[in-house]
Chains A and B, each alone.
Chain A
């Protein structure tokens, strides 16, 4: 057996765990670890320019690959800078392991230099956390952390490591365990067969069914099963913002996203349904609108691996706790045997009428058919996303920041595959897009990676242009330039009579073209609609350059549909500035 120091054990354990990238930033408390990485570790380390970006890059990597992201930061300010990114990953159930340095054990509690209680600060935003007490515990702790982060409902795990536990002169026998035993942690492996049978019967008896699928389908690698189920039954499917790509967006049965900025036909179908199959979705308030008015005629089947997601906001009639994959397999089996043996079939007459109704909704207000923009001679944000879609053949990884541009990207880029749409849904973290795109590009260097952003969001982590230079990550940044904190402005237009309290920057925006050029990248300004496609193509043709497209759009455009609030139901929507359901 090898004798290794604490620092070396960390380096070795990350290798043994199959980690592909470490995203991090050094400092006093982690210097032993960095020295060990430098001397021995085969895992490449990506030096970001701010620890928040390390967490978002690891997060983007995790969302695109399905593998856990790994972050290494120092104590004190390094650790606190990582907090926003940990919370972002936590809210969207993203697997991540964060190693944070801590002051030496004998200094803990003394307000030592760069001491902060990382386990305490991060407690409400982690799936679990560990504080290393003895260096020899390091391999087992790392193994446990990866196990917890990646199984069940995934999430971030923090390991806080006091400096003395990584000393180079104290060596220990190193052994990386093959598996972990945790007596108090056992995520569900299968759904309850009785419940699944009940669900199958209810589904087959539905007259106006909808499948409401969320991020859990992607996290649980079950897009194909979901698609099979939907096609078998010929039932319509809607996805949450986090679920986009779980069902192919170009498919006839897809109704688009649902919720606050969901498609008209998706929200109408939900409201009028009699049976909702919720899969890996958590009835978020951005989806349900007023809970007491949520889908009054619907019976709800809810499949989720985390019991706390079930009946938290909306009560489920048939709860099924289990991994979406095995539950959908069982459900398909049971549906199959019910159809064969008992000749239970979906009510095709009712289903036909339901589809007819849906097609009417679609024809009336569907985003992709009855578009209402185009009255302005400015570039409309929707057109930018459509151009992006065309130029990338619908096959890019698209990250986004938070705001109107995020919603336009979600509505207009038709994601046919899971893990292609990478955004912060639960926390809504501005500044996520650029570092996340970096993480995605490192994972898939040969793929197109676009970051759809706004001039507000991009400035929250713009320093990462330097990291992109250092590691040659030629992503394309699509800046939907409206010169406003657009989403804030939209609310101020709608609810505060257009009083733009702190949602403009006056004359203070940088010249983004010069700015990106100073980092060694390419900047292109686009102001006319006629040149949009051509510039987009030029940008993507530059395979090995980071290109920043600064696209001046109509600043007055709003995102529609938009749920009417407060007290609205799913069906209550603004469809344009002066039109509502």
Chain B
């Protein structure tokens, strides 16, 4: 049983023109097994929240705290956060030229598990995970995210989540840019990991579409750098109908 606790988190983005305040006091607690949808308009700061938890150097924490099972996440280096059990499926996964998917996955799993996986079981593990995400095995030999379609990038993110087995996963607009089939495959992947583990999920999205596949326990409306309304799955239905207009003007 794990708990990710975010309290009064305030974050500025570091830009050439100076620092710009983005998050203005975010509070959210995610426990193992729970799925929290974070929904909000573009530019409201959702990715900033995700990157700040993962430790991206561009984002400067100006106040508040983030803890995982009581341990201070903000004190950890980026790789330490991943080893502690946090995973971020990125909205825009990064290309790493010349580094093959298989080499990358193996290096990451070795780092997270603390030892290299056994060759025999590892190959099977990767193949099975790829097959269930409808990924061709030839994928392993391609370079990380290089020339991947939008859908391939997102599947590759979920593949990593399956193999790295985090405690808490943050999925930043994993649904964006996916057609219906890809959305279903990716969602099934997330649900499979949830069924096989105690994964807690922060599901960041702009649209309610993905919530038909991944059922949230809680819905948080995000606007202007903070959570402005919270509720159960029914809140998503309201957003579907009325959009974000009332939160933006408020």
Chains A and B are bound partners: no
Interface residues of B (CB under 8 A from A): none
